[in-house]
Structures are given as structure tokens and as C-alpha cells.
Structure 1
Amino acid sequence: MTKPTSRHQRYQRIRTLALSVGMVLGMVAATFGPQLAHAARASKKILSEKFVALPDATPEQLQAADRVMVGSYECEFGKRVSVGANTKNKGYFDLTLGKQSWIMKPVLSSTGAIRLEDVKGGTLLIQILTKSMLMDVKAGRRLVDGCANDTQRAAEAELAKQPPRESIFGTPQPAGNQ
């Protein structure tokens, strides 16, 4: 049989337990407190960045916007890119890759390719007749390549039907293609 404890012993045990719990909570707060404070500041910063007013589109930008191919793109390695008109800013486009999204500004290039440039300067989508490519400009690497929507796939199929043309360099064609 256990011996009944005195009031003083019970008080000491409760006090020791309360002090132990308090120290553990203090260590948890010291560990996670700075991270939580940083996360709150970062989310406020992200929210303020999302609502930056964009300049009105120039006539050249609107002309380039008419040539942008919107829709869903199938890319290499099963990735998908989506391009759609920005509802708040005429002449701008929303681009999405997974959970990432950007507001893009269309620019005509001298080669005929359409460039969609991130308004913050981080990414670039290049659209040509048969495919598109999304690049991280700051890191200098491709995010996704070989992207094609329905229009680009149809153009690729049409080009495949055409007979091969003679090279501008006069390179002889293979025997089966003459």
C-alpha cells in the first residue's frame, strides 16, 4: 500500500511540473517564434507585391497581344503551362506553371517570335510557330521546353506533310527525297 503524501509534497510536485511545462513552452516559443514572425512579414510583402499597378499597354504591346497563343500547353516531362488574358490589365497575360504564376507583357521580336516577358523580369516565354519555351532569365536556364498547344501541334503536323525543300546552301537532298 502506498503511503499518503502530505500536502507539502503534493504542492512541490505540482510546482515542479508547472515549471517544467513552462520551460518547455519557452523553448518552443524561442525556436519557432522568429520563423513565425518572418512568415507573417513575408506573406504581407507577397500580398503587397501582387497588387502593383501596371502601366497601360502601348500600341506595340497591344499589337503583339493579338498574336499571343492562349490556352493550355503540354510540355516535356508531363508539365503543363497555361496562358490566359489578364482580366484586370488589357494587353497583359497570366502565365501559370504548376503553383507558380506570373503576369506577362507581350513583345514582338524581329524574328517573328512572340516574347512574353515577366513584368518583374524573372521569366520569359518564347512562342514560335511549332513550340514554346519558358525560361528563368535570372538563372539563365529553361524551366520547361517543348511546350505546344493545339494550334502549334496543328502547325507541326502541317509542316510534316510538306515535301522537303532544297537547302539555301545547295546541300544535296537524300536519295529517297528526290
Structure 2
Amino acid sequence: MGPRTLQRTALLAMALALMSACTVLAPVQTGEALIGQPASTVEARFGKPPEQYARADGGTRWLYPTQPYGQFTYAADFDASGKLVSFRQILTTMDFAQIRVGTSTQKDVLQTFGKPEETAYFRLMDRQVWSYRFKHEGVWPSLMNFYFDRDGVVRLTQVSPDPMYDHDHDSSR
């Protein structure tokens, strides 16, 4: 590969990185500009939400996940009259911290974050585990794991590195 080809490749990679950064921010900015608008306006802009959940205040939460490989889920929260009151990315360290061990349930986690990226059952622990791909502290590719007992109560939370991004692992060793 010649120097010009390398330079073009580097410029293309930089452009793609900048475009993907804009893509991450654009839904939030677009959604925030719609605050106060009816649900029909939000649906016209973002499409029918893949997930909808009732909120305790009488409103509704619409979720637009990017799972299974994305690290973002956008939440559009509506008040009881159907007006948009909030639009934001919710798979964050701060949002996950609102789930309380010993108190929060599977229903709480589902209604807050939507369907998990993956689920597993650990027989020896007798725990159902739901995992969500996200960027821990906004930087590190990670999985947030919620461990539930038989009654569906959160008994443990755990942040672990996302194995999908483990480029140091060499299976030939």
C-alpha cells in the first residue's frame, strides 16, 4: 500500500468515526427538540417504538433500543396527557444505579431499560441474569448484569467487560 492509499484510508476512518459520533448524539438532540409535543409527532419522527411500558405516574415510556450489538437505548417519556416530557439515552451508569438490590424487580428493570440483550440462568446460584450492553462511565464497553432470585427480586448487580470488545483475547494460545 502506498502513502496516498494509507492517507486516504486514515481520512476515511476518521470521517466514519466522526459520523458515528454524530449518530449517537443526533437522536437525543432531535428528541429533546420535540419535548412538549404529542406522541404522534414523536412517532412520525422516530417510528413506532419497539417497546412501550406504562409508568407509575400515568404516563408511558417508549423505548428505541439498539441491541443486540448497540450500547444505547433511547427512552421517550410521556406524561398522562400524551405529551413528551423527556427523551434521552438510558443505558448509563447513573440510570443503572437507580435499581436497588433487594427492592427492585424484573418488572422494574424491564419497564426502565426494556428487554435485556441476553439472559442466562446460573443453576448453582439459582439466579436468572439479564444483561445489557452499554458504555460504563460513557467510555468502556461493558455489560450490566442484574441477578434475580426466584421471586424476580434483584439480588446482585454487576458490571463486567463486554467480551465482544475483548481484542486482547487470542484463542490460539
User: Do Structure 1 and Structure 2 share a fold, with TM-score over 0.5?
Assistant: no
Larger strand percent: 2
Look at both structures and tell me which one has the larger radius of gyration over its CA atoms. Answer: 1
Larger helix percent: 1
State TM-score, norm by structure 2.
Answer: 0.29
Ranked by relative contact order (alpha carbons within 8 Å, sequence separation 6 or more), the top structure is 2
